[in-house]
Structure 1
């Protein structure tokens, strides 16, 4: 017999799988939830750290790029005094704590603004080396750390100068919420800068402990540090568990500064910095996931599985093996004893045909009376028995998948998770606002350098470089006071001919089209009413919204129309009615929203914090199903559904296996056996598989050949004994 075919292997495998699944069910559905802090809360701290790392990395990269690009724009213009350069830089950007211009050859300080820039940390002799102008971290005498950024000012006929800017390692726009602290850590585990709830010594010590652990973990490879197939944040990130104080446990997260796309590097990403967060979370006593439910479900599976296996053994396996033995007996020539005919199904039809064939082998004519031939479809066949077994197992699996341990009945979303959803949404709202403000500042910097004597060719060169340096724009152009485009770079603008520059810093158009058009306008002071206009790529805005653990994120305007989102949406479609009340909140807001059997964690954060983008009055709305969170109730529900799906899969696999290798071949063989008993001696019977059904088919073929030999012998004898008179 075949090792993988026949009647025995599928039934044996089904019994083994059901017995194993019963053990898994008893253990999984009765598993105690020992974690005092749910996995959803710990995972949320990792996401908060990732948000902080993204904000810090974007801020530092933007500062470095802005300083380099500003120096390049000055280099393309007429030579300017150091004070003029610093004044224009200060008018456009207010992000640096201190700026300075230094003559490289002599080391003379030509001008300075803001706090003192640490010039002694700059080795002028190595500026020409590769990486000599790379940004660097400098520790001041007071213990604070500054990021020093360098850019080259070079005009023909003048000594080369160095434009220097220093900035602190702060987290722009990161909402910490209540009781959270955040810090920046270098590769040695030293906390370079920290903010938030660090009022007592214990909190500061805990942050330093987390910093040391995070620095070591941050040195791992970003790919190997994750589980195979895991996506999400491109850097190294994770969550940490700290000390317990009273009834609160300290949990934290860490994330290294990494580029937005895997495999890429940014200036800030090469600094070796890691962001660490910590917060105290209230502990809850352990709860059992109803262990009796697991025991009852496992016992029910054992009973139902035993019934199904016994049914298959008694109605399918034993009759088929009996047929196999009876058919072999007939092929050996043992024709004295009648064939034992099974009671029902295809086996009964084949048994009745074998009994008739036994009589024919003994010399009885084809139309001799034998046992009554069973009427087809009157009694259930093998397929019907398989359906009954499938229904039995489905009766166990379906309640587990659809009814048992439903989380919506008693789910409790941790308060800290709601707070984190609100804080992260506020952080994302500020990130979008700052990105728009940065975009407008870039246009203002370009506009301030375009004088009335700048030619169209020179303007095209400046606009082209701006478009290349900043991927946020779809097109950038200079618009005259009469509405005529004087120079442009990028795609064809969505500007109506003859329309003068807008007086608003930001405008949104494109209603009725496929995507919104977000336009920023910065007046050019020396061009008699002209302005530099930039149209943002909507993909740039949508990319800012993609965050792990926030669910679906949308940016909506004051009328509740969707401007951007991190997943599919229609431009200017209305926000779902269930989320509309969030827009009525004047400040950041988060809550748990229950709608029938659906439980969602939602939050909204309007633009706030200043800048020209505040005039848009947009709101960032996030909505996440609670079932996506690692909450004990949903973990229990998922294990219950998994047990039901495993049972259904085992039943489908084994019963389908039986249907393919036994039921279908047995049904076809029953028709062939009846035709053979009815006198069909020409149809050859081929076995489909090397198993019990195939063995019966081979026996029937041998019987057919023997009956053919008997028929030829009778025909020969008839011709031999024919009357001689017929030959005369």
Structure 2
């Protein structure tokens, strides 16, 4: 018999799978626990730390790229005095706390701006080797940590110079909200900088000082643990195909006091793609975000309910298996034995005919064939009634088994453990949605500001050399270094393109350069246009068209759901998912949220968040308008995000999801095993019944071939032997009749 064919394997597999599913149901549905800090809150803290790591990595890499590009543009032109170099850089970028130009050969300080730099920490003899110009961290006398970024200035017939810029390890535009702290941690677990925890001497009361000291101690403990965990390989800490953050990240829980427990997320700085390192990732920094969360009473599901559902499945499974064994398996085995007996020539005993279904039809045909084999001269026995009795078929029995299994599966998927309007969504999740949306909003605004600042740097470094060849060279170099631009070009006062790099300009008009630093061009698709005037009073300007795909890529953040960037008319400009340019949000609740966040509260708009309750569906939504300075502020854009609470690790939804999973597994088990029976056994059995009746009615010409090497195939082979025996008997009977006629 075939291992996969026959009647026994599918019924046995069905029995084993139903038994395993009953155990799964009893264990999972009766053991769904939710800690006093829901898993959704811990996952949210992990995503918060990942946002901080992404923002910090992008900021540090952007600083390195900006300094390298500025040095390269200076070096490509005529020699510029060190003071002029620092003045031009300072007029374009305000990101560095201090800048300096040092003569490499002598170590002499040529120019400096901002705070004093620890230049003695730089080994000038190793600047030309591999990694000699990599950014490095140094600690000042006051205990603060600075990041030094280095680049070379090479002028013709002048000693080589070193351009140095220092910056603090602070997070650009991270929205912390209330009672949250975020820190940058070194590879040894040392806290290099933190935001959100004030110095103890800055607070007013002894109780507040005690809280600050406790939070500081807890943050340091988290930092030590996170530094150890982030040393693991990212491939070993992520589930296959999980995607999301490409580096190592996770969550931690800390001490408890006053009904609150400390929760933290951590994430190591990782490149934009898995396995791709950058200047920032070489620093081996980790971001830790900590917040104190109010605890909920620990809850668990009802173990008795899980046992009841498992018992019901065992009862249904036993009934289904018993029905299949009694109506399909045993009759088929009986037919197998009876057909083998007939082929051996044992015709004295009548065939044992099973009851009902195709097995009874085959048994009746075998009995008729037995009579034909035993009485050679008897005529073909006609059907006494002229029609065969209708019997309950095997397909009907199989359908009945499917209905029994569905009677257990369907209620689990549609009725049992359904999460209703009383689902408790932690307020911390609503707050985190708001703060993360505000952080993402600031990241987009800063990216636009950086794009316009790059153009200002390009315009200032072009200087008086406005030949098309020189301008094209500068534009092509900028396009290679910054992939955010779809097209770069220089327009004169009359709107003529003097130099171009990248794609074809989409927003170049005949009226000359735009006056606004950043504006939105409304064509077939939205085009963000950044403009920087060239030095002098020529009216020419450098124009850069930013790719919308660049903005869309900034919105790819896990744990925020659907994200849209909308303008003042609530039209969609960018999205993390498929969208149509300039389409409306299409939701009155989201429109109202955007309007509410744009209202003036004091002096500036504020981000807002809300939990929408609509029946059993709970949606967390947040909106954050553009605030802060920079060229992008006049755009008046708003970042909107929303997600269903059903996808979060909340107790009620976890129980509902596991219940639905149990129902789907039951449906899959039933469909697979019953479908297996239908294909391997029932369908060939029905065909065999038709051929057996045709053979018993006198059809001797059709050869019977078995489909599978199983019980049905064995009965088919026996019928083929009987057919051949009947043909042989007919030939022999014909020979006996013709022989006497020949003698006469």
Matched, 1:302 2:322: no
Aligned in 2, Cα 1:343/1:132: closer, same or farther, shift over 3 Å? closer
Equivalent position SS for 1:162:
strand
Calculate the TM-score normalised by the size of structure 1. Answer: 0.96
Given that 1:450 and 1:526 are in contact with CA atoms closer than 8 Å, whether structure 2 keeps it comes out as no
Contact 1:236 1:256 in 2 (8 A): yes
Shift of 1:535: 0.3
Residue 91 of structure 1 corresponds to 91
Supply the distance in 2 between the matched residues of 1:326 and 1:77 (Cα, whole angstroms).
Answer: 101
The 8 Å contact of residues 507 and 527 in structure 2, kept in 1 or not, is answered as no
**1:574 corresponds to:** 584
Q: Which has the larger displacement, 193-202 or 442-451?
A: 193-202
- Is 1:633 the counterpart of 2:652? The answer is yes
Distance 1:208 1:375 in 2: 86
Q: Distance in 2 between matches of 1:662 and 1:105?
A: 89
Report the Cα offset of residue 724 of structure 1.
Answer: 4.7
Contact 2:184 2:194 in 1 (8 A): yes
1:702 counterpart = 2:721: yes
Query: CA contact under 8 A between 2:490 and 2:540: conserved in structure 1?
Result: yes
Q: Is the aligned partner of 1:163 residue 2:175? A: no
Distance 2:53 2:486 in 1: 27
Does structure 2 retain, via aligned residues, the 8 Å contact 1:479–1:485? yes
Alignment correspondent of 2:44: 44
Q: 1:724 to 1:124 in 2, by over 3 A?
A: closer
Q: Residues 723, 454 of structure 1: CA spacing in aligned structure 2 closer, same or farther, 3 A cutoff?
A: closer
TM-score by length of 2: 0.94
* Alignment partner of 1:483 out of 495, 503, 513: 495
1:370-392 Cα shifts (integer Å, max 9, x gaps): 7768736x322111111111111
Structure 1: gaps (5+ residues): none
C-alpha distance in structure 2 between counterparts of 1:367 and 1:122, whole Å: 110
Aligned to 1:200: 212
1:258 equivalent in alignment to 2:277: no
Cα deviations by residue, 1:577-599 (Å, 9 ceiling, x for unpaired): 24211111232111212334432
Which of 657, 677, 680 is equivalent to 2:699?
Answer: 680
Alignment partner, residue 145 of structure 1? 145
1:189 matches 2:189? yes
- 1:516 pairs with 2:526: yes
User: Are residue 446 (structure 1) and residue 454 (structure 2) matched?
Assistant: no
Change (3 A) 1:302 1:225: closer
Query: Displacement, 1:79?
Result: 2.0
State how 1:487-502 maps to structure 2 within 5 Å.
487-502=499-514
Matched, 1:535 2:545: yes
After superposition, give the CA deviation of every residue in 1:414-451 in whole Å (9 maximum; x if it has no partner): 11111111110000000000010111111111112233
| Residues 66 and 368 of structure 1, relative CA distance in 2, 3 Å threshold | closer
Which of the numbers 346, 360, 363 marks the counterpart of 2:358?
A: 346
1:245-284 equivalent positions in 2, closer than 5 A: 245-284=257-296
How far does residue 34 in structure 1 lie from its aligned partner after superposition? Answer: 4.3
Query: Are 1:421 and 1:601, in contact at CA under 8 Å, matched by a contact in 2?
Result: yes
Matches within 5 A, 1:282-431: 282-363=294-375, 365-368=378-381, 375=388, 378-431=390-443
Distance in 2 (alpha carbons) for counterparts of 1:366 and 1:529 = 113
- Three-state SS of the structure 1 residue aligned to 2:149 is strand
Asked whether the equivalents of residues 349 and 374 of structure 1 are also in contact (C-alpha less than 8 Å), the reply is: no
Give distance in 2, aligned partners of 1:359 and 1:645. Answer: 51
Q: 1:358 Cα deviation (Å)? A: 1.6
Structure 1 residues 479 and 716: CA distance shift in structure 2, 3 A: same
What is the distance in 2 between the residues matched to 1:538 and 1:527?
32
SS class of match (2:413): helix
- Determine whether 1:21 maps to 2:21: yes
Shift in CA distance, 11/371, structure 1 to aligned 2, threshold 3 Å? farther
Alignment correspondent of 1:466: 478
Native 8 Å contact 2:266 2:289 kept in 1 = yes
Range that drifts further, 694-703 or 329-338: 329-338
Query: 2:100 is matched with which residue?
Result: 100
Residue 412 of structure 1 aligns to a residue whose secondary structure is coil
Q: Is the 8 A contact 2:421 2:615 kept in 1?
A: no
SS of residue paired to 2:48: helix
Rounded to whole Å, the distance in 1 between the matches of 2:731 and 2:128 is 107
Q: CA separation in 1, counterparts of 2:736 and 2:642? A: 92
Q: Distance in 2 between matches of 1:703 and 1:366?
A: 17
After TM superposition, give the deviation of residue 696 of structure 1 in Å: 1.6
Residue deviations 1:591-644 (CA, integer Å, cap 9, x gap): 212334432211111111111111101001111121221111111111111111
- 1:241 Cα offset (Å): 1.5
Instruction: State the 1:132 CA deviation.
Output: 2.0
Q: 2:202 is matched with which residue?
A: none
Structure-1 residue corresponding to 2:562: 552
The alignment status of 1:506 with 2:518, answered yes or no, reads yes
Name 1:664's counterpart in structure 2: 683
C-alpha separation in 1, matches of 2:133 and 2:231: 25
- Aligned CA distance change for structure 1 residues 178 and 373 (closer, same or farther; 3 Å): farther
Q: 1:552–1:566: 8 Å Cα contact kept in structure 2?
A: yes
Contact kept, 8 Å, 2:32 with 2:654, in 1: the verdict is no
Q: Deviations over 1:124-180 (max 9, x none)?
A: 222233322221111001100001112222221222222211110000100112211
1:238 Cα deviation from its structure 2 partner:
1.0
SS of match in other structure, 1:458 = helix
CA contact (8 A) 2:35 2:299 kept: no
- Partner SS, residue 632 of structure 2: helix
CA distance change for structure 1 residues 356 and 19 in 2, over 3 Å: closer, same or farther?
same
